[in-house]
């Protein structure tokens, strides 16, 4: 923090009007961040990012306790862009390319959610079943759930999607994905608040009452409630009781069990959670690796090797 204050002092408020930028998305997007490193080099940027986190009331490097506002996201994207770019020209080109990609994405998703096409046939095929249920489900509760699940899935399929975003340089794609992440965070927060109220006041979306699709939609929202682990744990207990009655898909229970375990720093049971390293899929730690395939079979999942083979990892 001392270094951040020293760097900021050398710049002066007029050079980096942080407080103003954090309140104005358009000012934050169009600000000339390159001047922050002119004559100082890229090493001038990390202290400014540290200061920006402190000003936002967040801790850099720690899990976010809330979503970025649009202005906050633009400041972070601006700082990351000038830190990573090789030249002022590259930064401006990538900044503008990322901004254009996000505009195209917002227009595409708005068209899709309104019943039209996103322009990406694969995305349309994936999301239209949710949108169809949002119009035809027999209950208002089920219709609302399906629409929220559509938004959940659409924003996640936007990451790195060149059909929607267009061809981008690696840095422009990084800046675009960061903005998508901010949108996904807000969608998740809104969905979690809604389903929490619904489940606590009216119970789970049992298969016998709402159907398998709705039950899976509800699970999706709970599965992505990573900022509210206590709620995920609450839903896991509900699913544990319901799976013996056939009121939830056992696979949904397995995925949420692993998610809660990993989010709490414990080994997972079914091997559903993992990541990519050196271009290869790997599985987060397991409770019992020797019999993981038996445990997976008990809930209707394929072998771990077959599951991992479905993922494409890029370096």
Q: Which of 201, 236, 271 is the last residue of a domain?
A: 201
Q: Are residues 261 and 294 in the same domain?
A: yes
In a domain, 97, yes or no: no
The per-residue pLDDT for range 28-56, each reduced to its tens digit, is 999 999 999 998 999 999 999 999 999 99
In a domain, 206, yes or no: no
The per-residue pLDDT for range 293-305, each reduced to its tens digit, is 999 999 999 999 9
Q: Are residues 156 and 182 in the same domain?
A: yes
Q: For residue 101, what pLDDT band results from cuts at 50, 70 and 90? A: very high
Q: Are residues 107 and 190 in the same domain?
A: yes
Residue 218: predicted pLDDT? 98
Q: Are residues 106 and 80 in the same domain?
A: no
Listed residue (88, 111, 106) closest to 33, CA to CA: 88
- Consecutive H or E run containing 214: helix 212-223
Listed residue (142, 157, 231) closest to 187, CA to CA: 157
**Domain span at residue 19?**
1-84
The per-residue pLDDT for range 129-152, each reduced to its tens digit, is 999 999 999 999 999 999 999 999
In a domain, 216, yes or no: no
Q: pTM for the whole thing?
A: 0.90
In a domain, 236, yes or no: yes
Q: Are residues 121 and 79 in the same domain?
A: no
Q: Are residues 78 and 110 in the same domain?
A: no
CA–CA distances in Å: residue 51 to residues 19, 21, 78, 90 = 11, 13, 14, 25
Q: Are residues 287 and 315 in the same domain?
A: yes
Q: For the chain, what is the domain count?
A: 3
Length of the chain: 315
User: What distance in Å separates the CA atoms of residue 76 and residue 49, rounded to the nearest whole number?
Assistant: 7
Q: Are residues 114 and 58 in the same domain?
A: no
């Amino acid at each position: 923090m001392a270094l951040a204050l020293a760097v900021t002092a050398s710049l002066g408020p007029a050079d980096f009007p942080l407080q103003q930028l954090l309140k104005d998305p358009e000012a934050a997007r169009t600000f000339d961040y390159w001047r922050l490193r002119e004559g100082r080099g890229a090493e001038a940027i990390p202290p400014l990012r540290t200061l920006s986190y402190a000003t936002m009331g967040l801790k850099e490097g720690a899990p976010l306790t809330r979503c970025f506002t649009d202005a906050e996201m633009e400041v972070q994207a601006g700082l990351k862009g000038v830190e990573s770019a090789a030249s002022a020209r590259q930064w401006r080109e990538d900044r503008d390319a990322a901004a254009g990609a996000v505009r195209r994405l917002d227009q595409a998703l708005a068209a899709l959610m309104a019943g039209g096409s996103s322009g990406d046939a694969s995305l349309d095929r994936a999301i239209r079943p949710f949108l169809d249920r949002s119009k035809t489900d027999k209950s208002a509760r089920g219709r609302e759930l399906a629409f929220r699940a559509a938004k959940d899935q659409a924003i996640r399929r936007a990451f790195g999607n060149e059909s929607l975003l267009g061809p981008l340089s690696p840095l422009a794609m990084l800046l675009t994905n960061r903005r998508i992440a901010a949108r996904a965070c807000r969608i998740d927060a809104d969905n979690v608040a809604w389903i929490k109220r619904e489940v606590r006041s009216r119970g789970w979306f049992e298969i016998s009452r709402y159907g398998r699709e709705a039950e899976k939609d509800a699970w999706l929202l709970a599965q992505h409630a990573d900022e509210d682990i206590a709620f995920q744990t609450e839903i896991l207990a509900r699913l544990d009781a319901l799976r013996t009655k056939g009121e939830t898909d056992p696979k949904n229970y397995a995925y949420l069990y692993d998610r809660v375990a990993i989010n709490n720093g414990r080994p997972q049971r079914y091997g559903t959670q993992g990541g990519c390293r050196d271009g290869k899929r790997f599985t987060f730690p397991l409770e019992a690796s020797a019999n993981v395939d038996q445990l997976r079979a008990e809930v209707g999942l394929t072998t771990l090797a077959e599951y991992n083979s479905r993922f494409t990892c890029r370096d």
